[in-house]
């Protein structure tokens, strides 16, 4: 039996393109396709084989509309992720403010050092600058515990 020809010429946009024959898949490869030896098949618009994903990466990415048609649940997942990210960013921003002000969450909720009755109550624990407050919260050594976990508790009368 005679082997098939190695190339085949086709016209694309009035240009002659040679299609190569893949002896493994036994087909003429489409234009811009390559055979991936790891996946053992021909891949259109083959970019490279990613060892971390264990799959071929193609330069033609799936459009958003195609992805929604293929998996409509992904829209719900995107919405959940959107609100989750904003919640986490809000919480991180709030705690960054607390660290820069040298406040606790409880002090902020109670408004211990905020304006009461139009009188400004200054935070006595503030170190005076944002950097000093951040250093005192994040880098200062941890003080001794207020309780002794291994000692007995005696009732005072």
pTM exceeds 0.85 for this model: no
> CB under 8 Å, gap of 24 or more: what pairs does 130-139 form?
130/100, 133/99, 133/100, 133/101, 133/102, 134/99, 134/100, 136/102, 137/99, 137/102, 138/99
**The pLDDT of residue 100:** 93
Q: How confident is the model at residue 107 (pLDDT cuts 50, 70, 90)?
A: confident
CB count within 10 Å of CB 108 equals: 15
Q: How confident is the model at residue 120 (pLDDT cuts 50, 70, 90)?
A: low
Q: What span, in angstroms and rounded, lies between the C-alpha atoms of 58 and 49?
A: 9
Catalytic member of 36, 39, 42, 50: 50
Average pLDDT over residues 56-70: 73
pLDDT in tens, 5-38: 788 888 888 888 889 999 899 899 988 888 998 9
Is 22 among the residues known to form the active site? Answer: no
Domain assignments of the chain as residue spans, ordered by start: 7-61, 70-138
Q: What span, in angstroms and rounded, lies between the C-alpha atoms of 145 and 137?
A: 16
CB count within 10 Å of CB 43 equals: 19
């Amino acid at each position: 039996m005679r082997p098939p020809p190695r190339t085949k010429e086709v016209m694309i946009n009035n240009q002659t393109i040679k299609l190569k024959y893949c002896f493994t898949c036994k087909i003429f490869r489409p234009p811009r396709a390559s055979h991936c030896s790891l996946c053992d098949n021909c891949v259109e618009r083959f970019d490279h084989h990613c060892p971390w994903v264990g799959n071929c990466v193609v330069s033609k990415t799936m459009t958003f509309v195609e992805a929604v048609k293929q998996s409509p649940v992904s829209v719900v997942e995107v919405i959940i992720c959107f609100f989750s990210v904003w919640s986490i960013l809000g919480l991180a921003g709030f705690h960054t403010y607390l660290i820069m002000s040298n406040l606790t969450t409880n002090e902020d909720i109670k408004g211990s050092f905020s304006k009461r009755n139009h009188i400004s109550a200054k935070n006595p624990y503030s170190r005076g600058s944002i950097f000093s407050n951040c250093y005192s919260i994040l880098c200062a050594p941890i003080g001794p515990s207020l309780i002794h976990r291994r000692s007995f508790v005696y009732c005072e009368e």
